[in-house]
């Protein structure tokens, strides 16, 4: 017995090291699996308030740039609005913007609506393999998991965790990220992933060889995944190579959004997403 | 220096290093992926005669603090605990056994010895950190690349800090 106690006293430093190291390792593994504990994530109240304070201060220095980006996005929206007015002369009751508390609801002409919440990125990381964004809107503002996150120019990520006042999104710069996208000109679709290398390069995989793609083409979301609506901007094609698997292409994509310079974002929800998912699970259960 | 002022200066340095890492260093990204990690400064400069158990515990707390603000789970905490535990071996390796008799002051030692100490410590810390953070062997090349470049960056910063604060004390 005495020997055991002596052993512990003699090796207390090593045992302490081993205990704490294993604890750190376990927390890391937990973070990798995506099952965050509420305390060790930046949805936490303390880190959340530090980040919003910091984003506030930093924002003064980026105002000019952000304003320009916003006005550019506004201009683009206006153009699209008038274009659609011309295209659909007979259904002119058409697009109807309604301002709500912290965002807008866009009624599309097919009677379906799109909930959009305006938000800000208060913590953005892009130098890891599994990057996340912390956003200053939470469940009290109507944020729910699986909403899409987009900058004024293109998609940014998908909401994964929500607390009352903050939420965390999986960035497209995350090796777990999967987004279904298609070319603007055709309906051939593929999966957009990230290989963990460069923050200005994504990879479009699983796109068939016969898809009419060329360098410089615009890519948009496909709408099959129920997260982003169809036709939301993603990026441009920068390089096309045959993939290792036959009959497929491997396409390099530069996202429209500069992922290292993010502040104003929109959170997008398709209200019909739940209905689609319920229907799909129902049909899978039957077969 | 009596023990209560030493305790005060250690906790002051703990907070200063944590704030510096979160508010300044984590905003810096060189060459697209090198993010300097300066908080190792605290672990390296912990008093040589200080209590080792406290060094290991406070390193864990420091790492966990950085983790919480980076959403990295416990990778920084684990790497810091590892560095705290291996520090005596590194001290022995860089400065010889004489450090045990309290005759060496790290910031006053010859530049070559300082460099070996800081560089070896930082490389080990970063290697553990990036391996844990990557979470898979598939990224080993990326892990090595980030370790190498980030280590150089952190080492330069820590050595500069040694010189800067040393001059003020003497």
Residue A20 domain-assigned?
A: no
HEC assignment per residue over chain A: CHHHHHHHHHCHHHHHHHHHHHHHHHHHHHHHCCCCCCCCCCCCHHHHHHHHHHHHHHHHHHHHHHHHHHHHHHHHHHHHHHHHHHHCHHHCCCCEEEEECCEEEEECCCCCEEEEEEEEEEEECCCCCEEEEEECCCHHHCCCCCCEEECCCCEEEEEEEECCCCEEEEEEEECCCCEEEEECCCCCEEEEECCCCCCCCEEEEEEECCCCCCCCCEEEECCCCCCCCCCCEEEEEEEEEECCCCCEEEEEEEECCCCCCCCEEEEEECCCHHHHHHHHHHHHHHC
Q: Which of B34, B52, B72 sits opposite A28 (nearest CB)?
A: B72
- Which has the higher per-residue pLDDT, A35 or A6? A6
Cα dihedral A224, A226, A231, A232, rounded to 10, equals -140
In whole angstroms, give the CA distance from residue A33 to residue A28: 9
CATH number for A91 = 2.40.10.340
Would the CB atoms of A31 and B82 count as touching at under 8 Å?
A: no
CATH number for A213 = 2.40.10.350
Judge if A90 and A131 occupy the same domain.
yes
Average confidence (pLDDT) over A200-222: 88
Name every chain B residue with its beta carbon within 8 A of the beta carbon of A126. 29
Record the tokens describing residue B113, joined without a space.
Answer: 């010895």
Residues 6 or more apart in contact with residue B95 via CB below 8 angstroms = B104, B106, B109, B113, B117
Among residues A29, A51, A31, the alpha carbon closest in space to that of A42 is found at A51
Judge if A123 and A202 occupy the same domain.
no
Q: What is the ipTM of this complex?
A: 0.80
Q: B78 and B86 in contact (C-beta within 8 Å)?
A: no
pLDDT at A270: 76
Interface of A with B (CB under 8 A): 12-14, 16-17, 20-21, 23-32, 36, 39-42, 44, 47, 50-51, 54, 123, 125-130, 132, 134, 168, 196-199, 260
Judge if A71 and A132 occupy the same domain.
yes
- Which has the higher per-residue pLDDT, A22 or B27? A22
Q: Is the pLDDT of residue B84 over 50?
A: yes
Q: Is the pLDDT of residue A96 over 60?
A: no
Q: Is the pLDDT of residue A104 over 70?
A: no
Residue A60 domain-assigned?
A: yes
Share above pLDDT 90 across residues of chain B, in percent, rounded to a whole number: 21
pLDDT at B52: 85
Would the CB atoms of B73 and A40 count as touching at under 8 Å?
A: yes
Q: Is the pLDDT of residue B32 over 80?
A: no
Would the CB atoms of A47 and B69 count as touching at under 8 Å?
A: yes
Judge if A168 and A184 occupy the same domain.
no
> What's B103's DSSP letter?
-
Which of A156-170, B11-25, B27-41 is predicted with the least confidence, judged by mean pLDDT? B27-41
pLDDT at A110: 44
Would the CB atoms of B64 and A24 count as touching at under 8 Å?
A: yes
Average confidence (pLDDT) over A160-175: 91
For A14, the closest chain B residue by CA position comes to B85
pLDDT at A31: 74
Q: Is the pLDDT of residue A13 over 80?
A: yes
Which of A94-108, A223-237, B45-59, B70-84 is predicted with the least confidence, judged by mean pLDDT? A94-108
Which of A14-18, A97-101, A230-234, B64-68 is predicted with the least confidence, judged by mean pLDDT? A97-101
Containing domain of residue A133, as a range?
A: 45-173+263-270
Q: Which of B53, B71, B76 sits opposite A41 (nearest CB)?
A: B71
Q: Is the pLDDT of residue A54 over 80?
A: no
Would the CB atoms of B52 and A128 count as touching at under 8 Å?
A: no
Smallest Cα distance from A267 to chain B, Å: 21
Residue A1 domain-assigned?
A: no
Q: Say how many C-beta atoms besides its own lie within 10 A of residue B77's C-beta.
A: 30
Smallest Cα distance from B170 to chain A, Å: 33
**Tens-place pLDDT, residues B147-160:** 898 899 899 989 88
Would the CB atoms of A27 and B73 count as touching at under 8 Å?
A: yes
Average confidence (pLDDT) over B28-43: 80
Judge if A117 and A204 occupy the same domain.
no
Would the CB atoms of A260 and B79 count as touching at under 8 Å?
A: no
Judge if A223 and A197 occupy the same domain.
yes
**Tens-place pLDDT, residues A261-281:** 888 888 888 777 777 777 878
Element (H, E) at B87: helix B75-95
Name every chain B residue with its beta carbon within 8 A of the beta carbon of A41. 68, 71
In whole angstroms, give the CA distance from residue A121 to residue A168: 9
Average confidence (pLDDT) over B110-129: 90
pLDDT band at B7 (very low <50, low <70, confident <90, very high): confident
Residue A234 domain-assigned?
A: yes
Smallest Cα distance from A85 to chain B, Å: 43
Average confidence (pLDDT) over B53-58: 90
Q: Is the pLDDT of residue A116 over 50?
A: yes
Q: Is the pLDDT of residue A60 over 70?
A: no
Q: Is the pLDDT of residue A37 over 70?
A: no
Judge if A169 and A192 occupy the same domain.
no
pLDDT at B82: 94
Containing domain of residue B147, as a range?
A: 3-169
Judge if A58 and A168 occupy the same domain.
yes
Record the tokens describing residue A165, joined without a space.
Answer: 């006042």
Judge if A101 and A214 occupy the same domain.
no
Cα distances (angstroms) measured from residue A179 to each of A21, A148, A154, A171: 36, 10, 13, 11
Judge if A81 and A109 occupy the same domain.
yes
Judge if A184 and A159 occupy the same domain.
no
Cα distances (angstroms) measured from residue A130 to each of A193, A215, B58, B62: 12, 28, 27, 22
Judge if A191 and A147 occupy the same domain.
no
Average confidence (pLDDT) over B30-35: 71
Rounded to the nearest integer, the mean pLDDT of chain B is: 83
pLDDT at B120: 93
Q: Which of B68, B71, B75 sits opposite A132 (nearest CB)?
A: B71
pLDDT at B79: 94
Average confidence (pLDDT) over A17-30: 86
pLDDT band at A109 (very low <50, low <70, confident <90, very high): very low
Mutation choice for B interface testing from A13, A28, A259 by most B CBs within 10 A: A28
Number of domains in chain A: 2
Number of domains in chain B: 1
């Amino acid at each position: 017995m005495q020997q055991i106690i002596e052993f512990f006293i003699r090796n207390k430093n090593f045992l302490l090291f081993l205990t704490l190291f294993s604890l750190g390792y376990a927390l890391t593994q937990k973070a990798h699996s995506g099952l965050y504990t509420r305390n060790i994530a930046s949805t936490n109240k303390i880190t959340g308030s530090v980040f919003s304070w910091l984003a506030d201060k930093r924002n003064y220095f980026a105002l000019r740039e952000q304003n320009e980006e916003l006005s550019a996005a506004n201009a683009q929206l206006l153009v699209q609005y008038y274009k659609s007015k011309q295209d659909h002369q007979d259904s002119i009751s058409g697009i109807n913007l309604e301002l709500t508390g912290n965002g807008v609801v866009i009624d599309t002409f097919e009677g379906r609506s799109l909930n959009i919440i305006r938000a800000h990125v208060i913590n953005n990381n892009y130098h890891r393999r599994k990057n996340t964004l912390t956003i200053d809107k939470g469940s009290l503002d109507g944020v729910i998991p699986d909403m899409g996150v987009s900058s004024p120019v293109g998609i940014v990520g998908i909401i994964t965790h929500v607390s009352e006042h903050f939420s965390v999104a999986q960035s497209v710069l995350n090796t777990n990220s999967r987004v279904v996208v298609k070319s603007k000109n055709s309906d051939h679709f593929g999966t957009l992933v990230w290989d963990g290398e460069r923050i200005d390069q994504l990879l479009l995989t699983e796109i068939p060889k016969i898809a009419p793609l060329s360098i410089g083409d615009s890519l948009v979301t496909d709408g099959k995944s129920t997260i982003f609506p169809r036709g939301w901007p993603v990026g441009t094609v920068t390089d096309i190579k045959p993939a290792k698997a036959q009959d497929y292409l491997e396409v390099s994509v530069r996202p429209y959004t500069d992922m290292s310079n993010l502040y104003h974002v929109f959170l997008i929800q398709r209200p019909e997403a739940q209905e689609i998912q319920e229907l799909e699970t129902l049909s899978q259960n039957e077969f | 220096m009596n023990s209560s002022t030493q305790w005060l200066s250690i906790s002051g340095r703990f907070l200063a290093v944590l704030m510096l890492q979160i508010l300044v260093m984590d905003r810096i990204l060189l060459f697209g992926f090198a993010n300097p990690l300066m908080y190792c400064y605290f672990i390296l400069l912990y008093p040589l005669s200080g209590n080792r158990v406290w060094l290991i515990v406070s390193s864990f707390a420091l790492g966990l603090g950085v983790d919480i603000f980076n959403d990295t789970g416990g990778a920084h905490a684990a790497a810091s605990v590892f560095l705290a535990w291996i520090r005596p071996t590194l001290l022995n390796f860089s400065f010889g056994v004489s450090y045990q008799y309290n005759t060496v002051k790290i910031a006053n030692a010859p530049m070559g010895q300082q460099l070996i100490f800081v560089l070896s410590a930082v490389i080990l810390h970063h290697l553990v950190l990036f391996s844990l953070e990557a979470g898979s062997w598939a990224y080993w090349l990326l892990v090595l690349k980030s370790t190498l470049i980030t280590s150089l960056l952190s080492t330069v910063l820590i050595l500069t800090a040694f010189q800067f604060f040393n001059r003020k004390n003497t």
